[in-house]
Chain A
Amino acid sequence: MRQPVLKVRDLSVHFRVDAGRLFRHDYRTVRAVDGVSFDVMPAETLGIVGESGCGKSTLARALLGLVSAQGGSISWLGEELVGLGEETMRGKRREIQMIFQDPSGSLDPRMTVGEIVAEPLKTFYPSMSRLQIRERVQGMMQMVGLLPDQINRYPHEFSGGQCQRIGIARALVVNPRLVVCDEPVSALDVSIQAQIVNLLKDLQKKLQLSLIFIAHDLSVVRHVSDRVMVMYLGKLMELADRDSIYLSPRHPYTRALIESVPIPDPVLERERARRVLDGDIPSPLDPPPGCVFHSRCPHARDACQAEVPAVETLEDGAQVACLFHRELAAHGPAVQSPDQGSGVADSSSVSETDSSSPEPR
């Protein structure tokens, strides 16, 4: 049995916000991440999906210690990260790196590509010579599909996809064990998304990386993930193997999410029975009592308002937080999910056009 590299138990990240008006404070707590537990295995990809504001990004930041967790534990290779001092935590970031959502925004516009990719090297290996750094940076650039002779260019001279490649190079240059990808492709074109996702998969295979892949695009997550975790209002709804999530979702929220994925075929799309969730995601300042999803759940009952469903681990290892998931599985209609991921094609069918030299400006 392989040991997980990352064990997260009952993690909570709360923010105190001031909802008061002028001169009157009214401090309230936003439970951005509330009691979430999961493991990440070596060289595995864990997908995390959920609507905007469900705490995906906060969870990612908490793993790197960019926001501090209020409760629970993050155990990295057996070492506890919650409550670690700033100095020690900084050292851990050599092993846990992050790829950001905004490809060009996460690159300092005043730095060259070489300087950007070299930054983690300079902080973690201050004794490295300039030549060594340059060689490593150029090797890394080649690995992510950038031309090494672009080392002196600036981020604004690159397209979004190339900027994300720079971001990937920066994350991988220090040989991390785990890379947290916070919506790495949601700001990119669909065709470029495929390239970046496939690049990440290739690099994962080559470097034996563990990935946490956060997205709100279900088809992308399906393409990359081994297991998928579904979050809603800071809580874990369901965590299961990819196929189990997509083919036999147990939680009504997961089901609704999967049904909302459009099928790229107008005839099928029209015939599909689809229940769209009513309303918006409730304010995390004021989450509903009981099961947080009951206010929008098509199967909600009285018990759902009264009782917070515990996360239940099933025979096949899947985890579900729903009081009635067994009944729903028995009666519920089979999910019509698009079999082919709509957003992302397989690696074989996509030609890597983005890796050619940048268009002149």
Chain B
Amino acid sequence: MNESERDAFDQALDTRVIQGRSLWVDAWHRLLKNRAALASLLVLVVMVALVIIGPMMSDWDHEIPDWDNYSTPPSLETGHLFGTDALGRDLFVRTLIGGRISLLVGIVATLVSLLIGISYGAIAGYFGGRVDNLMMRFVDGIYAMPFMFFVIVLMVIFGRNIFLIFVAIGAVNWLDMARIVRGQTLSLKNKPFVEAARACGATEMQIIRRHIVPNLLGVVIVYVTLTIPQVILIESFLSFLGLGVQEPLTSWGALVNEGAQELETAPWSLLFPAGFLAATLFAFNFLGDGLRDALDPKDRV
């Protein structure tokens, strides 16, 4: 090795900074090894892409009927891949548009509940004592309210509106999140690294932000993947009862409702939306299971 080579070598040694593998990266690698979770992830990615792009690619519109084809079964000739409904609207486009609404409700309502639930639960759990007692009794109070009654009252007062669904579902779902986060915070706040942070001069809010919340995320992510399907199901349930989205807009729940009424004459109008709904719910649940395994520290070898 000559002089300049050795210099370059030394320099390379000096500037080399080892990149550590964070717990997230570790968890990600474990998740990729879990076939069911990986397949679910793919299904969800495809589903989201389809729901976003699909309606644009199709010749048909979810509102405008095809006057020549009422209740026709799926066929390549007519161009209605999933057939049409009783009003002659293309079921393929309607299923995807319904998917947009269902997924949007699922994700947005979950995010809302996530935001409220994490901050509420973390504060209640971290400060503990009287604050905790007061905040959690408030949660218990809301819990006691019958959900359907709450939704119907909202609908009656404000009229049927898709945002009301977000509000109604979010208002109920953050309670669970707050409880879970509070419980986790209770155990986290006694960990030595929290006391170490306090000894380093961090303020209470800095501790919550820097130490409590990042360490909560594992549990929260798992819970989110299990909440999204739950919310989708609640929305479908509301739509099935006629309290959900309003025609001509639709959702998977509304489509299943319509399809169920025509089950004998046009089974495809039930099968396709129901299949999409089921596939999505399955995928979310498997992904949630996979994430739970991947993030569970006890499983770590």
A interface list, Cβ under 8 A from B = 61, 64, 66, 90-91, 93-94, 97-98, 100-102, 105-113, 119-120, 123-124, 149-154, 156-157, 167, 170
Contact A91/B201 with A105-B191, A153-B20 known, Cβ cut-off 8 Å? yes
- A110 touching B17 by the CB < 8 A rule? no
Alpha-carbon distance A108/B211, docked complex (angstroms): 7
Counting residue pairs across A and B whose Cβ atoms lie within 8 Å, the total is 83
Contacts of A170 in B (CB 8 A): 196, 200
The 0/1 profile, CB within 8 Å of A marked 1, for residues 190-205 of chain B is 0111011111111100
CB B217 to nearest CB in A, in angstroms, measures 8
What are 24 inter-chain pairs, A to B, with CB distance below 8 A? Answer: A61-B195, A66-B195, A66-B199, A97-B200, A102-B192, A105-B191, A106-B193, A107-B196, A108-B215, A109-B23, A109-B193, A109-B215, A110-B23, A110-B215, A119-B197, A123-B202, A123-B206, A150-B20, A152-B18, A152-B20, A153-B18, A154-B20, A156-B23, A157-B21
Pick the residue among A100, A113, A151 that contacts B195 (CB under 8 A): A100
| Interface range, B side | 20 to 34
Cβ-closest chain A residue relative to B194:
A108
- B18 touching A150 by the CB < 8 A rule? yes
B interface list, Cβ under 8 A from A = 16-23, 191-193, 195-203, 206, 210-211, 214-215
Alpha-carbon distance A110/B23, docked complex (angstroms): 7
- B21 touching A110 by the CB < 8 A rule? no
Alpha-carbon distance A124/B16, docked complex (angstroms): 29
Contact A66/B202 with A108-B193, A154-B23 known, Cβ cut-off 8 Å? no
Cβ-closest chain A residue relative to B218:
A110
Contacts of B192 in A (CB 8 A): 100-102, 105-106
- A110 touching B214 by the CB < 8 A rule? yes
CB A153 to nearest CB in B, in angstroms, measures 3
Contacts of B23 in A (CB 8 A): 109-110, 154, 156
Alpha-carbon distance A101/B17, docked complex (angstroms): 29
Report the 6 A-B pairs with minimum CB-CB distance, sorted nearest first: A153-B20, A106-B192, A120-B200, A105-B192, A106-B196, A123-B201
CB B171 to nearest CB in A, in angstroms, measures 30
Contacts of A112 in B (CB 8 A): 20, 22
CB A3 to nearest CB in B, in angstroms, measures 25
Alpha-carbon distance A150/B196, docked complex (angstroms): 21
Contacts of B191 in A (CB 8 A): 105
- B201 touching A93 by the CB < 8 A rule? yes
Contacts of A156 in B (CB 8 A): 23
- B198 touching A66 by the CB < 8 A rule? yes
- B21 touching A119 by the CB < 8 A rule? no
Most buried by A among B22, B191, B201, B210: B201
CB A339 to nearest CB in B, in angstroms, measures 35
Alpha-carbon distance A66/B20, docked complex (angstroms): 32
Contacts of A102 in B (CB 8 A): 192
Cβ-closest chain B residue relative to A157:
B20
Contact A167/B196 with A105-B191, A108-B211, A151-B17 known, Cβ cut-off 8 Å? yes
- A93 touching B193 by the CB < 8 A rule? no
